[in-house]
Amino acid sequence: MSEKKYVYLFEEGKSDMRALLGGKGANLAEMTIIGLPVPTGFTLTTEACNAYLAASKDFPEGMLEATFAALQVLESKTAKVFGDQDNPLLVSVRSGAAISMPGMMDTILNLGLNDISVLGLAKLTGDNRFAYDCYRRFIQMFCNVVLDIEHGQFDDIVEKHKRKLSLIFDHEIPAEELKSIIDEYKTLVKEEKGFDFPQDVKTQLTMAIRAVFDSWNNQRAIVYRRLNKIEDSLGTAVNIQCMAFGNMGLDSGTGVAFTRNPSTGEKELYGEFLVNAQGEDVVAGIRTPTPIAKMKEELPGVYQQFVDTCQNLENHYRDMQDIEFTVEKGKLYMLQTRNGKRTAKASVKVAVDMVIEGLITIEEALLRVDAEQINQLLHRQIDNSVKLEAIAKGLPASPGAACGKVLFDADQAEKQGEAGEKVVLVRSETTPDDIHGIIYAQGILTVRGGMTSHAAVVARGMGKPCVCGCESIKIDAPNRLFRVNQIIVKEGDVISIDGATGNVMLGEVPMIEPTLSDEFETLLSWANDNKSLAVRANADTPQDAAKAREFGAEGIGLCRTEHMFMAAERLPIVQEMILAETLAEREAALSELLPFQREDFYGILKVMAPFPVTIRLLDPPLHEFLPDHETLLLEIAEMKHQQIQGKELYEKEDLLKQIHSLSEANPMLGHRGCRLGITYPEIYRMQARAIFEAMIQLKKEGINSFTEVEIPLVMDVAELSLLKAEIMDVYAQLQQETACELDFAVGTMLELPRACVTTDEIAREAEFFSFGTNDLTQTTLGFSRDDAEGKFIPVYLDKKIIKDNPFAVLDRKGVGSLMKMAVEKARGVRKDVLMGICGEHGGEPSSIEFCHLIGLNYVSCSPYRIPVARLAAAQAKLKNS
């Protein structure tokens, strides 16, 4: 039986062995191979870790033997002996997973020190104090990491001794005192654990390896993995490496450096170092590190070598490197290198610069920038360098940060906003009645409502920050204030909200304004050259449409007509239309709405021409346009109490009755979408007329527009046939009136499972398709978004039933299967039929990749997501070609 190889000397590894050796181990191996000065060492593989964890913490067969054999190699290379009293070999033991998990795993330095070898270290360095200080630190670190004894207990001992000698700093403690501290450390260990601190160095190493393996499942690591979606099954490697000492005098030192500025992306060595120090000292914060540029003066002997090595590493890895190094008595040692974390801004600049420098290809540059991250560059951000306390947390409904005076009603918000005040509109939930206030507010904060609530949808459309469903806030309307926990926030007090996190903060917090760099534009133009998917915008107004074109939209994939119904001057007419008791009354109201709609469409089509505009006919249930039922109920009760009789009361009672009769148990699955068009064909006819009249007007002005008239919520081809006939009839009438030929198509959304199952039939009528994945997710999973995101999705994420919120990241297995089926069925009937997506997934990178994979023609997303979508579309193609 051939034994598995669990231990690799650095020179046996390579950078592409990350999965086996971990990122750190693979890079140490790579640096060794390319001849960089790396302290010699070896790596225990992630397979060893997994075998150990699977076997209830039994080391796999042969692992320890191989470890000690590798240790012998180290001894012979360094001519040192592990645990020796003359020339002792000391090692560091570090964890290193395949995916970088900085700060998550535990590290032990100076392993190999005991009562004997400490003498050797003293001899070797000629520094008694140094040796005993190393020993003391090692015991403390080992006991903390391996034996789980708290740091504080060791610190108490040190403090006691410092007090005794009236010393302030640790480094002032003399060697003799350190020895007695070490004795007390040993006593502490015995008391705490019932056994002696291990003097056998192999036992030390074995215990340390075990501790590193165990640390894979410590709480911090588990939480980090969950947050960063790292599989639990990867396991960690263990790197065992000869120590290099940065604390052996003024020709020694330690530091970290980035090969480029990780914040701006500028090409400059960026980092800091400390002379005569070990890594710990930097972390402990006792001494302030020096900027890396000063190294030239302070460690001139190695500076140029270091600069060259950094450049070397960047060239070798073809990416910005994050490097740890130590200088021991004038000799440079590279301890670690990895691709450096960077801001969105830096990420873009580094990628573009490196293409210009010839270091990487355009394709590589496109793949190297996190598409999701560049969203940051488009919104005002809270300055993350400042630590802020949130007083409440809601749903991150629309990204960006806003700050302003708290106002509780839309009229005030409009008035003060118009007057130039910065205001944040705070409401239980918003309704169409609040739209004028929303327009003038910096941001919106609501107590109720989810990611698809009115506030959220409107705010996203406007690119305005919004925090929704912040249920810990209790609005006390009569007193014009809100309470959250013990805090009272009055009308006019300033708050800040972060629509990217859902945080609500007191006062004005520091913001970073968005800047779109030249590199950003360059990267996006490269993205356009490398993608198959077109990117369209969801836009309901000419303003949104213009913003969308600015960001490079290639059309509108979803223009919702209902938001046009919500404007203050139109809502009364809409309500009249809804409450009409006869067809004639309804048609009268509709004919009042016609000019408004025509004007809306005219504006949008004009901005977007000659790109296509998908106009969705009225979709939401009609009761959404009516006043709030509960408020009305209480008003009536109040009037009755005051014994107010007469017309006003009767009208209110009548209205309540009508609201009652329109109200639904499950409005999401109710009388909406094309069902409205089927029960009230006159509504869709008016909308079709408004579209065609707008197009005719444009045509007269010499502008050729193209519309895709979209029927929502279709579940059967018969619905589409019927409504398409109505639309074509309106067109035929207009053609007779004006003899004007227009360019348009009639199609439908795919947002119900039945539509996906019968897309072949629907394709007989539909000239285009657009996946409405918000609703398709709701129906496929049976998740009402408004209810699920507040109530059980967090629990599902926590219990790992789902990996992502299915409303944020498309559920490929469920929703995706239906989409794939629908595409195949549609294309089976109409080979080249246009198919897109207009749910919010259309702006999310993983979902966009899926859309690319199943062969959609375009994704459509909110204007501010277009850059993300363009990049993600290019990445999807590059990753899958």
Query: By CB under 8 A, which span of 177-185, 406-414, 692-700, 814-822 interacts with its own copies?
Result: 814-822
- 399: which DSSP letter? -
**Does 639 sit near its own copies (CB under 8 A)?**
no
Q: Cβ closer to its own copies: 494 or 668?
A: 668
Locus of tokens 């309307």: 477
Q: Cβ closer to its own copies: 522 or 759?
A: 759
Name every residue whose Cβ is closer than 8 Å to that of residue 301 and which is 6 or more positions away in sequence. Answer: 251, 330
**Does 643 sit near its own copies (CB under 8 A)?**
no
Peptide bond into 399 cis (omega under 30): no
Cβ contact 442:418 at 8 Å: no
Question: Per the residue annotation, which of 134, 470, 756, 838 is the catalytic one?
Answer: 838
Shortest distance, position 668 Cβ to its own copies, whole Å: 4
Shortest distance, position 66 Cβ to its own copies, whole Å: 38
**Does 802 sit near its own copies (CB under 8 A)?**
yes
Give bridge partners of residue 748 from the DSSP assignment.
Answer: 711, 769
Query: By CB under 8 A, which span of 93-101, 182-190, 808-816, 829-837 interacts with its own copies?
Result: 808-816
Alpha-carbon gap, residue 518 to 804, rounded angstroms: 34
- Contact residue for its own copies among 215, 779, 860, 875 (CB under 8 A): 779
As a dihedral over the C-alpha atoms of residue 752, residue 757, residue 758, residue 759, rounded to 10 degrees, the angle is 80
Separation in Å, CA 435 to CA 399, 423, 746: 19, 14, 30
Query: By CB under 8 A, which span of 220-228, 479-487, 555-563, 747-755 interacts with its own copies?
Result: 747-755
Touching its own copies, residues 425-484 (CB under 8 A): 450, 471
- Contact residue for its own copies among 69, 583, 644, 801 (CB under 8 A): 801
Phi-psi region of 855 (alpha: psi -120 to 50; beta: other; left: phi over 0): left
Per residue, the 3-state secondary structure of 678-719, as one string, reads: HHCHHHHHHHHHHHHHHHHHHHHCCCCCEEEEEECCCCCHHH
Alpha-carbon gap, residue 741 to 637, rounded angstroms: 57
Single-letter code of the amino acid located at 747:
G
Touching its own copies, residues 715-744 (CB under 8 A): 715-716, 718-719, 722
Shortest distance, position 818 Cβ to its own copies, whole Å: 6
**Does 799 sit near its own copies (CB under 8 A)?**
yes
Q: Cβ closer to its own copies: 279 or 790?
A: 790
Cβ contact 405:481 at 8 Å: no
Q: Cβ closer to its own copies: 214 or 719?
A: 719
**Does 562 sit near its own copies (CB under 8 A)?**
no
674 tagged catalytic: no
**Does 770 sit near its own copies (CB under 8 A)?**
no
**Does 757 sit near its own copies (CB under 8 A)?**
yes
Shortest distance, position 222 Cβ to its own copies, whole Å: 18
- Contact residue for its own copies among 778, 805, 862, 875 (CB under 8 A): 778
Per residue, the 3-state secondary structure of 336-389, as one string, reads: EEEECCCCHHHHHHHHHHHHHCCCCCHHHHHHHCCCCHHHHHHCCEECCCCCCC
454 tagged catalytic: yes
Alpha-carbon gap, residue 482 to 491, rounded angstroms: 8
**Does 787 sit near its own copies (CB under 8 A)?**
yes
Question: Per the residue annotation, which of 161, 454, 563, 841 is the catalytic one?
Answer: 454
Q: Cβ closer to its own copies: 308 or 787?
A: 787
The CA angle 847-852-857, to the nearest 5 degrees, is 110
List phi, psi (to 5°) of 822.
Answer: -65, -40
Separation in Å, CA 218 to CA 210, 212, 795, 798, 856: 13, 10, 21, 17, 43
- Contact residue for its own copies among 678, 740, 809, 853 (CB under 8 A): 678
As a dihedral over the C-alpha atoms of residue 714, residue 715, residue 720, residue 723, rounded to 10 degrees, the angle is -60
Query: By CB under 8 A, which span of 262-270, 276-284, 492-500, 745-753 interacts with its own copies?
Result: 745-753
Query: By CB under 8 A, which span of 69-77, 412-420, 432-440, 674-682 interacts with its own copies?
Result: 674-682
- Contact residue for its own copies among 33, 99, 307, 633 (CB under 8 A): 633
Q: Which long-range contacts (CB under 8 A, 24 or more apart) does 169-176 make?
A: 169/286, 170/133, 170/286, 171/133, 173/133, 174/129, 175/128, 175/129, 175/131, 175/132, 175/133
Shortest distance, position 782 Cβ to its own copies, whole Å: 4
Shortest distance, position 780 Cβ to its own copies, whole Å: 5
Q: Interface with its own copies by CB under 8 A: which residues?
A: 450, 471, 630, 633-634, 637-638, 641, 661, 664-671, 673, 675, 678-679, 713, 715-716, 718-719, 722, 751-754, 757-758, 775, 778-784, 786-788, 791-792, 795-796, 799-802, 811, 813-815, 817-818
Give the residue numbers marked as catalytic.
454, 838
